[in-house]
Structure 1
Amino acid sequence: MNRVAVEAERRSDTFRPPTLQTLPAAVAANVARVRARTRSTIMAVVKADGYGHGAVPVARAAVAAGAEWLGTTSIAEALALRAAGLTVPILTWLHPAGIDADEASAAGIDVAVSSVDELAALVARAGTAVRIHLNMDTGMARGGCPRGQWDELVDLALLGRRDGKVHVAGVMGHLPLADQADPEANASAVAAMRDAVRTVRAAGLGTPPAHLGATAGALTDPATHFDMVRVGAGLVGIDPSGTVEMHGASRLTAPVVHTAAAPAGTPVGYGGTYVTDRATHLSVLPVGYADGIPRECSPQAGVEIGGRRFPVAGRISMDQIVIDTGSASFPAGTVATVFGPEGGATPSIHDWARWAGTIPHTIVSGIGPRVRRSIA
């Protein structure tokens, strides 16, 4: 084997591909943090593949830590959890592919209904009783039954129950202003939910659990808790209200694949927007905006290598980012941490969100399929 082949083999053995590692212990710690602030049942919302962290490992960690329900966007997401052996109650409420009533009933999956038409269609299709949560629009105008049609929705649910087509298992809404961490901002939605619950009970539909607050409400406003709180972003270390420190639940690493010395005055990347101001070294990481690294970032963006933070040099490309490492020259295969929970030199998802002018949810949920997944 010639020298070039030997070196290529050594490099392939050394490299660790770009990897997003999920940290179940951090998920458990975040559930514990919510539990310390509420007596209500905790629903762990693992939509969008567990906010990019893997729906199954996040769900398992949350349930082991005391979450009693799971929440998803679609029946398909819920069925994947069932296939993984998760047996706790699951609610799905957005239904991008519609509601397959019999499939939901067979798998023991609750579904939310947000309009009279949606409930009427479900009742018409259902062969056996489906567990439903009546979803009121409590102020977001993004879904949920308008308050003026709530009585009609409740009446239809009552008829559906009499016909053996539905069982009302919950009443829900959403908080449009919970991120403000201000109970006054939530008061209107709380009042609407109380009205919704009173109507359901007065109709003779029993006392199904009510749920309104998500992560921010669960952490900041007990009036929003009702019988259950839905915690999604909080599972992976994000408090949308910015008032409670949560535990980052993932770490994104990538290997250095190329390093070169560069003299002062070297333009870097497309457009040459970054020009070295001294003799330095430049290292390339094999991740880019196709992998979820935000293309538009401030000059403060950086990664951690060897316990030090080094700045991103130039524009982020589809498949690569360049790092200015100054006098340090890192061999190929050296592992860089793009973000993680460690603090110090390691950037957090909140740092990347700030650098990109976005929210941390988009950072973790946007990591692309080329990045390998692992579990700590």
Structure 2
Amino acid sequence: MPKPRTKTPDIASLVLDWYDRHYRKLPWRSPPGTPPPEPYGVWLSEIMLQQTTVPAVMPYFAKFLTLWPSVHDLAAAPVEDVMEAWAGLGYYARARNLHKCAQVVSRTLDGRFPDSEEGLLKLPGIGAYTAAAVAAIAFDRPAAVLDGNIERVLSRVFAVETPLPQSKPALRGLAATVTPQQRPGDFAQAMMDLGATVCTPKSPDCLLCPLQAQCAAFSRGIAAELPRKAAKTARPVRHAIAFLLQRAEDGAVLLRRRPPKGLLGGMLEVPSTPWRDTPWLPGEALPHAPLALDWLPLNGDAAHVFTHFELKIAALLGRVDARMAAGLDGLWQQPQAAALPTVMKKMLGLLPAAEADEIRSTKSRRAGRARS
């Protein structure tokens, strides 16, 4: 493991001094040097921030605190409501585990989160990073926090040239080495902010960095090259055909709920064929349609990238009247109002604008006849 080039207190004090002047004001944080924030908000924000940016999380964090101000409130909520409030934030297993964790904390721990990494790791949906982050930020424990921003800072300060993810064990050891006993929560957030705003992935602003003099990568002129990453394998591609079934009277679309377990478990979805490795022909897709109908193939397609594969989507359009719609299982919702995962929103995005214009025109003509 690379040896630190300076004493631990030097790095910690430099970063904390910088943080006291430049910290980002975020709703789940306390100002530097003040008592830690409530564990519920810290835990909620850390789950949301996994593989998701701060700007994307901000409105969801506010929404969840409005709907469920405490862990008891979240635990008592129907899981379907939690999943729908999460819609659009992605990585939906996080939402299911969030609800499970809230129930454990509420029902078996009297609403109190464990204050140690060991205790937090026993909760659903909490791994090594989240346990360390909550322990440090909410309870000021000297836990070694290691997210993507901190990995980048440490890789550069100590010139770790082993590619990620192979370098993670060494970086975790370095994080433990530099984490101070005093203000470890502020230190973890300071390192996150340093990576997010100064030691950025491309074109790091080394002239503004408080660790410039300590940074081995800067002294060697390779800061922008680190951390190195192992070559990625190509994502496999899957294919689906979405069945966009509209109610003629108002343009509402048919949605249904996915099974509770598995990818996007418990979320609302647009009916579609199974997702498979080879493209579908419209004719062979019809047995998977919600009903026998004259389905119209639509021009254009959509694509959505999941963690482990890319989904390419074509679409068929169908129209039914209110009587036929009443006999179908599922929910009818306006496309723009449905709380859906991003991939399902992309499916609805294939609806042709002309259809929407036709529906609005039809409703306008009916309203005019009613007034006359």
TM superposition score normalised by structure 1: 0.22
TM superposition score normalised by structure 2: 0.22
Which is strand-richer, 1 or 2?
1
Which is helix-richer, 1 or 2?
2
